[in-house]
Amino acid sequence: MKLYVSFAARMRAMIDEGVLRPGEKMLSVRAASKQFDLSVSTVLRGYLLLEQEGMIASHPQSGYYVCHRLKASPKLQTALAKDLDLAEIDASKLVLTTLKSIREFGTVPLGSPFPDPQLFPLKKLHQSVQTFSRDGGEWGVLSDLPPGNLRLRQQIARRYLDLGITLSPDEIVITHGATEAITLCLQAVAKAGDVIAIESPGYYALAHTIERLGMKALEVRTHAESGIELDALLAVIGNVRLAAVLITTSFQNPLGFVMPSAKKQALVQLLSAHAIPLIEDDVYAELSFSDTPPPPAKMYDTNGMVLHCGSFSKSLAPGFRLGWTSAGRYRPEVERLMFLNSLSLSTPPQLAIAKFLQRDSYQHHLKALRHTLRSNHVLMRNVVLQSFPEGTQLSTPQGGYVLWLSLPSSIDALSLYRAALDRGITVAPGTIFSRNKAFTHAIRLNFSHVWTLAIEQALREVGALACAMVSAAATSNTSPPKATDR
């Protein structure tokens, strides 16, 4: 056997066994040459063979990375067969199935709810954490107590100031990610049995959080380009006692819209007039396609009724699980609940992020991040327009990393999800974005991952599956025309 074929087989086995996982970087050509005692040309030919097989992809000036798989392995089909045979799949179970297929079997992550980790400066942040951990300093349990590290709260207050919002660091409480921030805010304003209004379609994790606390989620009609409908919300207020409203006003998941500033102001005024707190989930705030993020509804808060929640998980450090809330008049109660729930947070990650925010490197990172997301959105949009059937409508996100597709009525999104997963591709079916099992003909796609041939091929294959479903439902065998912009 030729040396390069033997080397390629060895690398292929490492990928199949999960030693090298999808999205991970391969050894550099020189490092592989040294480690396996092979010539550089032999390693290059081996990598070229793996690239031709679609197992790895070369990224200019970066190296080779393991690709996500376009075909489901027998192990994947066996592991998921029971779930896929169900007539109904619970939303949380379906999400876990999707994440498991991505993590353990390398399926193409078009259905992932998370941004690609390769977008973030994790190496620099981890180095800072290690440095602060070694130094120790004067911090300890007391400095970790709520409301959190002062330096980090100062930097967050500075970010608010850049948006035109003046807040003291004392008004900010650091939390274990945005989910805990939202949970604490819900506990501060409501109790078990209370009704919380949410968007429809909306991010399923928000409804899960509400229901986990024993509260009731009530869906309100949401416009695809401007957010929750105020007339529908007013009608709900007239008929139901709402304890709070929980929504995403900028780059909403799954629709991607930004609520216009005038509508944000009108929303705050409407809720204030009825003494209803607004919990604003603003975790995607920094992911604008432009250089300037939109102001949150918090800007129009004059009486402390808006509880604004943010996170670094989508913009800087997904693995650090650091978020915050500026909870207005409810801040003391949120801080007390934070103390009871978590006692304290680790200081080194807080200091590492504070240091990164303080430098120009954060602005450079955001500029590169926004450029990548904007470019990926254009690439995905073009492939969808070329590959999906006539009648497919695309959302028009102004930021974030998700695209919402409303498909022809003859397509069942859950069936499309199953068919795609059989081919090693994940999508997010629209049914999981509504507690009422609505949006059965919609899917959400994630465009944050490094754009590779494997990603493009996977998207085209999903489009082909959708076209086949339309053809099967039609009385004619004529191939359906391609999708058009809304």
**Domain CATH code at residue 203:** 3.40.640.10
266 and 167 co-located in one domain: yes
C-alpha closest to that of 204 among 99, 330, 102 = 99
Written as tens digits, the pLDDT of the chain (486 aa) is 688 889 999 998 888 777 887 778 899 999 999 999 999 999 999 999 888 877 888 876 678 888 876 665 565 555 565 555 544 567 788 888 888 888 777 789 999 999 998 899 988 898 888 887 776 655 555 667 899 999 999 999 999 999 999 999 999 999 999 999 999 999 999 999 999 999 999 999 999 999 999 999 999 999 999 999 999 999 999 999 999 999 999 999 999 999 999 999 999 999 999 999 999 999 999 999 998 889 999 999 999 999 999 999 999 998 888 999 999 999 999 999 999 988 778 889 999 999 999 887 899 999 999 999 999 999 999 999 999 999 999 999 999 999 999 999 999 999 999 999 988 899 999 999 998 888 999 999 999 998 888 899 999 999 999 999 999 998 655 555 666 565
Q: What is the DSSP letter of 249?
A: -
In angstroms, the CA 284 to CA 263 distance is 19
Query: In this structure, is residue 131 part of a structural domain?
Result: no
Query: In this structure, is residue 43 part of a structural domain?
Result: yes
Tell me the DSSP string of 347-371.
Answer: HHHHHHHHHHHHSTHHHHHHHHHHH
Q: Give the pLDDT of residue 70.
A: 60
Q: What CATH number does the domain containing 428 carry?
A: 3.90.1150.10
282 and 307 co-located in one domain: yes
Residue 171 token pair: 């008004």
Total domains present in the chain: 3
110 and 160 co-located in one domain: no
Q: Give the pLDDT of residue 138.
A: 52
Range of the domain at 13: 3-66
From 47, 66, 85, the end of a domain falls on: 66
Query: In this structure, is residue 478 part of a structural domain?
Result: no
In angstroms, the CA 352 to CA 356 distance is 6
255 and 164 co-located in one domain: yes
Q: What is the pTM of this model?
A: 0.85
187 and 111 co-located in one domain: no
96 and 185 co-located in one domain: no
373 and 332 co-located in one domain: no
From 308, 335, 358, the end of a domain falls on: 358
55 and 100 co-located in one domain: no
402 and 455 co-located in one domain: yes
From 358, 385, 402, the end of a domain falls on: 358
83 and 157 co-located in one domain: no
In angstroms, the CA 77 to CA 105 distance is 10
267 and 210 co-located in one domain: yes
Query: In this structure, is residue 316 part of a structural domain?
Result: yes
